Amino acid sequence: MTSTTPAPSLTAPHRTPRRRRAPVVLVLVLAGIGLALAGPTGLAARVVRAVGGAPAAQAVLDGPLAPCRADDILALHREPADWARTLLDPTFRLEPDDLPSDLVPVAEAGLRGGGSVRLLVIDDLRSLAAAAREDGVTLRVRSAFRSYDDQIRTFASLEALNGRDWAELSAARAGHSEHQLGTTLDFDGGNDWLAANAWRHGFVVSYPAARSPQFTCYKAEPWHVRHVGRGVARRVHESGVSLREWLWIHADEVP
């Protein structure tokens, strides 16, 4: 069959003048400069200032949220008054002697199971326990405050049983545990109820299934709740993100 396709032109192909690309390149350059000048915000900016130019610590940052990476950088908020905004994860830690001085038994909140929490938690913990009972849910404390040395033993036992990788995904290394704050509890029972209602009483589930381990750095723990106060708990709940993600941006806004 005879082709009806026109013969190719013998003239040189048309080339777009280079000057037409200049505006695009300029826009990209200016955008890059703008991002560089903007820099990280919230806790990310504080980390940059805190670590100066130390390469190991500087590498923690990767965009707005640090990746899950084992390190031992002191938490930026570690005073007793910072209980609601202290961010602890595989990177950020407390010192062994960062201990609350106002621990009281969880029994003061009408709960069984033993352990202690800071006095400032008791009123909301009592409210949480009472609301659960009204809904037919029984909460029993499995674990509350744990010291640095307690956490050494906890982590070591998990590592001995299941290996290092499993332990690091399932528990915090000593100094990195929220239990050392004295505002955190592990419960037996009531997981679904806690997910739906803990925030109403000033607690958040630190490692929710929808955000773990990608954003929280640990496996989901529906039994692990931390007291942050009713205002912060509401904001975290409404944000739909984990406490770690929320504090990374908003820690400096917490009174």
Q: Where are the domains of the chain?
A: 70-253
Give, for 221, the enclosing helix (H) or strand (E).
Answer: strand 221-227
Sorting pLDDT into bands at 50, 70 and 90, what band is 47? low
Round to the nearest angstrom and report the end-to-end CA distance of the chain: 83
What's the token pair of residue 2?
Answer: 């005879």
What's the token pair of residue 65?
Answer: 């949220």
pLDDT of residue 109: 98
Report how far residue 241's alpha carbon sits from residue 79's, in angstroms, rounded to the nearest whole number: 25
Sorting pLDDT into bands at 50, 70 and 90, what band is 66? confident
Q: What is the pLDDT of residues 122-149, one digit of tens each?
A: 999 999 999 999 999 999 999 999 999 9
Sorting pLDDT into bands at 50, 70 and 90, what band is 33? very low
State phi, psi for 155 to the nearest 5 degrees: -65, -40
Cβ 87 vs Cβ 247: under 8 Å: yes
Q: What is the pLDDT of residues 150-182, one digit of tens each?
A: 999 999 999 999 999 999 999 999 999 999 999
Among the listed ranges 8-17, 70-79, 86-95, which one has the minimum average pLDDT value? 8-17
Per the model's pLDDT, the better-predicted residue between 47 and 233 turns out to be 233
* 139 to 16, 105, 115: CA distances (angstroms): 72, 15, 14
pLDDT of residue 67: 92
pLDDT of residue 1: 44
Report how far residue 131's alpha carbon sits from residue 145's, in angstroms, rounded to the nearest whole number: 23
Asked if the model's pLDDT at residue 91 lies above 80, the reply is yes
Q: Look up the pTM and report it.
A: 0.79
pLDDT of residue 138: 95
State the sign of the Cα–Cα–Cα–Cα dihedral 184, 85, 236, 64.
negative
Question: Under 8 Å CB-to-CB from 186, ≥6 apart: which residues?
Answer: 141, 142, 143, 144, 179, 221, 223, 224
pLDDT of residue 166: 97
Alpha helices in the chain (DSSP H): 22-38, 42-51, 55-58, 122-134, 148-162, 164-170, 191-197, 230-239, 243-250
CATH class of 70-253: alpha beta
pLDDT of residue 45: 56
Question: Under 8 Å CB-to-CB from 215, ≥6 apart: which residues?
Answer: 65, 241, 242, 244, 245
| Mean pLDDT, all residues of the chain | 84
pLDDT of residue 135: 98
Asked if the model's pLDDT at residue 32 lies above 60, the reply is no
Report how far residue 85's alpha carbon sits from residue 87's, in angstroms, rounded to the nearest whole number: 6
Burial class (CB in 10 A: 0-12, 13-18, 19+), 129: buried
In percent, how much of the chain has pLDDT > 70?
75
Q: What is the pLDDT of residues 191-216, one digit of tens each?
A: 999 999 999 999 999 999 999 999 99
